[in-house]
Structure formats: structure tokens, C-alpha cells
Amino acid sequence: MASKWYPKKGRVIFHVDMNSFYASVEAAFDPSLKGKPLAIAGNPEERRGIIVTSSYEARKYGVKTTMPLGEARRLCPDLMVMRPNFERYRTASKEMFKILADVTSLVQPVSIDEGYMDITECSDQGSPPEIAERIQQRIAEELDLPCSIGIAPNKFLAKMASDMKKPMGITILRKRDLEHTLWKLPIEDMHGVGSKTAEKLRKIGIETIGGLASHSVIELKGILGINGERLQNRANGLDDRPVDPEAVHDFKSIGTSTTLPHDTTDEDEIQTVLRRLSNKVVARMNGKKVLARNVQLMIRYHDRKTVTRSRQLQEFISKPDELFQHSIQLFDQHWNQDPVRLLGVTAGDLAEKSEVTQQLDLFNYEQYAGKEKLYKTIDTLTEKYGKNPFRTLTNPDETKVSTSFQKDFLDDYKK
């Protein structure tokens, strides 16, 4: 009977989306939080109190992601607020993806709390709804976490389906269902349409996903370029992207940022922050065994004006000092002397160490060769003792994942 669910041509795709993930993980860790209005916010004691996520109990009061903490507390006076614990979330994410991988090897993580599965070849395990129910039950029983699952013939429709019933929903979305379920939704509810794109589409009379599906493709391309045609195809249920387990390795950069406790023009304080950020980025580069040939610096000022500047390098870099030096040089060149609110450092143009051959010329050979002995000694001691004995961290947690937007750890569940 299960075979009737599996097409001879085409795919059966799941999108698994964890519900209110950070808040749910905290409630699983501390059951006394269950049923309470809970928000996870960055640094609640300082002005970095922006809501990262909230429980469904808090959402009933209007508490939303990115809302300032003060506003959230006005809406929900009994709101419980916790700092994010990204190591805890990363561990939960890893265990969740292990459960998905027990069903099929075709699992593609796309963020810490969501991923795609291709179960086209899993007919021996039951029908898609049965498989989805088992996944949902396992995640609930083993991890005490809720999730929603979308079932569809492609990734876009599966993503849209998983959003339709939360929490703990399972939704099937077929192409024949589009007119009655998808097309009536407002255009801003469509995955891939942000607020600016929605505004442009509304200006040409497109209010719903159905309106996008039937609009003139020429006009769409005129205001959105090739993305206009792509979005129209999605609205009509067309999406041929495969579930790619290796896509997680296609990251093009590794970066991190931090909001300062207070606006500052203190150059010593700024240098300390840039060094800490550089250490974090290089630690993650080492974990992925990559080198970088581009450095990008982000500066956000007290008035929230943000500038991003980058530098393409002649040689690959892999050391914290190298990344820090380029970052501080970019800062010195582009800082306008106004108080700084946020700093970010990103290493880009990445390449695997094994694929890179250092091009040494007459002028840098002696300097590089001299350092190479030191690097080898440090690597040997690190291998022996498990930690770089020469490296002193300003913050012992600085190598840990600190935001949900860092994707270079998403294949850890395979280890």
C-alpha cells in the first residue's frame, strides 16, 4: 500500500522544521519552563536585549523575533528571559539530524533547526505520512522537542508545507493543492520573498502567491531580474533542486560578529574585540581545514549605520594574528571616528588546505620558512595535548558557536 505514495518519476521530499527551537531546547533541559512564556534574548542585562526566539506561550502576547526586549516585556509582563546557550542548541541539533539520517542518507541541513530529506527510495519503511509521524515521535520522545514536517514533491513546497501547521504539524502539499492552499496566501508568506521584494510586487498589483503565479513574467523580470522568473516558478510549484547532503560544505565564508556592551571610540577596546573575533573565526577555519584569501570587516555605528569593507589578499592566511592584522588595518582605513556599536570579522574566498600550494617568492620565503618550524612545533604539541599550549584566549568560550547563522558545523551529526 505504501508504494502508491511514491511516484515512478519525481521525488518525495520532507522539510523538517523544529518549533521554537531555542526555547524548546531550554524547556527540555529544564521542564519547569514548559508552558511558560519564555524568550531567548541576546544579553538581557545590557542593551543587546533583542528577542532571538520565543515560546508559543509568549507569542500569544505578540512577542516576536527581533523585537526589543523592553517592548516584549511590555506586551508580556510575566515573560521569562534567558540568554542563548548555543552549545546546548548545537548538541540538540546534532542529535536531531542523527534521527533524520537513520531514515535516509539524503539529508541536507540548512540551518541549526531545519533540514530537507529525500525519502523517494524509502518505500520499504512505510508511507510518507507514516515515516513523518515516526520521525516526529522520535524527536519528541528522545529529545523532548517539537517539530513540524512538510511533505511535498520538491523542496519549495515542502518548506511551505512545514510552515502551515505549528507546532507538531504534518502537512502534505501537492501541486494539485496549490490553488486552494498556497495561492490564497499573502505574497509576504512565500518562502524566498522578503519585505523589500514583497513591497516591489505589491506596487505592480501582486498581493498573493497566486497573483505572482499568473503575472507577466516579463514584468517580473523587469523589476526583479532573473529572480522574478525563479519566484514565479516556485509559486507554480516548480523546483528541481535536489536534496544535497554535501551542500553544507559549500560555505564561501566563515565569520562572526558581536555587539559591544556600550558604544565606544576606545581603540584599545576595539582592538581587543577584533582580536577575539579573529581567534573565533580562525578556530572554525581550522576545524574545517580551510585557508582564506579575503578578509571582510563590518562596522556598525551608534546610529546603526553599517559599513562593510573587504580586502583581497595575495596569499592565503590561516593564523589568528594574520586575520587580526588585516582586520585592524581595514578598521584604521575606514573608521570615521564615530562611536562603534558592533564589529564583525569574516574570512572569505576559502580553499581547503590540502588543495592549496603556498606560492613562495624570493621576498617572503625566508620569513615563511622561519615561521613554519614554529607552526609545526605548535601543531605537534596541540596534537599531543589536545590544545594549543601557546594560545591564550581572552574568553574561554570564544571558539564556541555563538550564533545560529554559523553553518559550518551542520555536518557534525555524521561524526
Amino acid making up residue 277 = L
Contact 21, 112 (CB under 8 A): yes
Domains annotated on the chain, with CATH: 1-173 (3.30.70.270), 178-235 (1.10.150.20), 251-414 (3.30.1490.100)
Contact 327, 278 (CB under 8 A): yes
Contact 167, 60 (CB under 8 A): no
The Cα–Cα gap between 81 and 385 comes to 39
pLDDT digits (tens, 9 = 90+) for 18-68: 999 999 999 999 999 999 999 998 765 554 568 889 999 999 999 998 888
pLDDT digits (tens, 9 = 90+) for 207-263: 999 999 999 999 999 999 989 999 999 999 999 999 998 876 666 788 999 989 899
pLDDT digits (tens, 9 = 90+) for 147-188: 999 999 999 999 999 999 999 999 999 999 999 999 999 999
Binding-site residue set: 17, 113
Three-state SS for 359-381 is CCCCCCHHHHHHHHHHHHHHHHH
In sequence order, the 6+-apart residues with CB closer than 8 A to the CB of 190 are 160, 209, 212, 231, 234, 235
Alpha helices in 45-154 (DSSP H): 56-59, 69-75, 86-101, 128-143
Contact 281, 256 (CB under 8 A): yes
Active site annotation includes 114: yes
Catalytic hit among 114, 142, 246, 366: 114
